[in-house]
Structures are given as C-alpha cells and as structure tokens.
Amino acid sequence: MMKRWQYAIGAIWLCLLLIISTDNENAIAKYRSQSQFNPLEWTELPAAKKVDNSRSIDLNFTYATTNNFVNTKLYSCPRCFLRTDVATAIQAAHRQLQQQGYGGLRMFDCYRPQPIQQKMWAIKPDERYVANPKKGSDHNRGIAVDLTILDNHGKPLDMGTAFDEFSPKSHHTYLELSPEVLKNRSLLKTTMASVGLRHINTEWWHYAWKGNKPPVGKWVWDCNRSRENMM
Ligand SMILES: [Zn+2]
C-alpha cells in the first residue's frame, strides 16, 4: 500500500516535471523566430533538390516523431540546416555516392537547436547518450550530421544496427559483423572523410566537420516559413 507521503512526493515530482517541460516549451517558442538566424551562415538541405537532376537528399528524422530513444517528438517538422561549408560537403558526398550507383544519403539529424538539446537533456540527463546543453554539441553548432547511405532502390544499406542504437555493436571498433556490414560502414567512413568529416567511434551514423567550430545556434526553425522568409 502506498502511504500518503509517497503520494505527496509523487505529486511534487510530477509538478516539477511539468514546470521543467513548460519552461522548455517557452524557450523553444521564444527561439522559433528569425532572430539570430543569419542566412549567410546556414544552408538548408535539400535546398539541393535538383542536384544532378536525380534523387534529392532523403530526410528521415526520427526526432520529428515519437519513435526515438526519448519517446518524444522534438522537432515540429524535419528540416536539415547546416553551416554552409558542411552543407556543401554533404552535397558533394551525396553526388559521389550517386556516381558510384547508390541512391545517395539519408539524413537522420543535422543542426539541432540548443533549446531542443535542452529539452532532450531534461528528458534524459545522461551524458552517455545526450550532450550536456551547457557544453553544446557539434549538432548544436550545425557542423554534425547523423546519416546513412541508400541503395539505388532507396533502401538503406545494412549497417548492422538501427540509428541511435546505443550499444557496442554501433562502434566502429566492433568487428563481429558480416563482411557486407563492414564494407558498408567503411564506405560511409571513407566517403565522409573525403569531404572533410570525421567519425566518432561510438556511433557509426555520426560525423562532424573537421574544420572550425562555430558557436552553438539557438534559433529554431519555423515549419511554416521557408529559409528565405526566416531572415
Ligand atoms: Zn549525431
């Protein structure tokens, strides 16, 4: 039987959670505006829809659904914004893969606004899975991407695990995988390296720009406005 004080503690805890999440929503609403958005610094994918007159870069953002590791819809809609240098690199990698007969790239995540990082952290304050928003991650700077490769039928290549599977199997150093999976991971790694993006060991899908580290971005895109109207 639950004692009265246990109910009280439960109720206080619920209230705290509610306050934290309302605060986050207010912060996100505040930043969902043109303030701080400098169109000279940011490019949107697939603004490059017509690259090569072929398939545009596929967006498959689980964070714009509830089907992700925090079971929460973090983005109102999927949009891939990146610092312009990084966007150019991704487009080059996409073309490179298409020239080799693949469908191209599929993006799982690109720029992640700092207020969204804050929301993620409030739900899962565990640095093994989520970057502490105080430090900011390369996604918050607009220089990191989560991605995979599609075959020429638009099907993702077998990378051995799903995106965001936080297990040793997702590590580049984990080699007990089929030769096909190892070949696919290596293709992604060499393609990204050739355009200036570096891998991290623990997530086969994550790549970050090797160049300069710009500051963390706080602006949040408005689903109803095109990039041109966000100025
Ligand atoms: Zn990532």
Whole-Å CA distances, 215 to 126, 187, 209: 23, 30, 13
C-alpha of residue 184 to centroid of ligand 1, in Å: 18
pLDDT tens for residues 157-169?
999 999 999 999 9
Residue with tokens 């190892």, as numbered in its chain: 182
- pLDDT, residue 48, reads 42
Q: Across the chain, which distance is largest between two alpha carbons, in Å?
A: 67
Do β-strands 104-109 and 144-150 pair in parallel, antiparallel, or remain unpaired?
A: antiparallel
Tokens coding 160: 């051995």
pLDDT tens for residues 73-124?
999 999 999 999 999 999 999 999 999 999 999 999 999 999 999 999 999 9
203 is catalytic: yes
Whole-Å CA distances, 7 to 11, 17, 18, 123: 6, 15, 16, 22
Q: What are the extents of the domains in the chain?
A: 4-230
Q: Is the dihedral of CA 172, 176, 177, 178 positive or negative?
A: positive
Catalytic residue among 41, 165, 180, 203: 203
Q: Tell me if 132 sits within 8 A of 124, measured CB to CB.
A: no
Q: Topology of domain 4-230, per CATH? A: Muramoyl-pentapeptide Carboxypeptidase; domain 2 (3.30.1380)
Q: Residue 46: is the preceding peptide bond cis (ω within 30°)?
A: yes
Q: Is the pLDDT of residue 26 over 50?
A: yes
C-alpha of residue 207 to centroid of ligand 1, in Å: 7
Cα–Cα distance for residue pair 186/169, rounded to 1 Å: 15
Compute the mean pLDDT over every residue in the chain, rounded to the nearest whole number.
88
The one-letter amino acid code at 99 reads: Q
C-alpha of residue 9 to centroid of ligand 1, in Å: 36
Q: Which of 174, 200, 179, 180 is nearest to 189 (CA)?
A: 200
The one-letter amino acid code at 159 reads: M
pLDDT tens for residues 176-213?
999 999 999 999 999 999 999 999 999 999 999 999 99
C-alpha of residue 128 to centroid of ligand 1, in Å: 12
Cα–Cα distance for residue pair 196/91, rounded to 1 Å: 12
Tell me the residues surrounding ligand 1 (ion) with CB < 5 Å: 146, 206
C-alpha of residue 139 to centroid of ligand 1, in Å: 6
C-alpha of residue 98 to centroid of ligand 1, in Å: 23
24-59 core/surface letters (b: 16 or more CB in 10 A; e: else): beebbeebbeeeebeeeebbbbbbbeebeeebbbbb
C-alpha of residue 205 to centroid of ligand 1, in Å: 7
Q: What is the pTM of this model?
A: 0.85
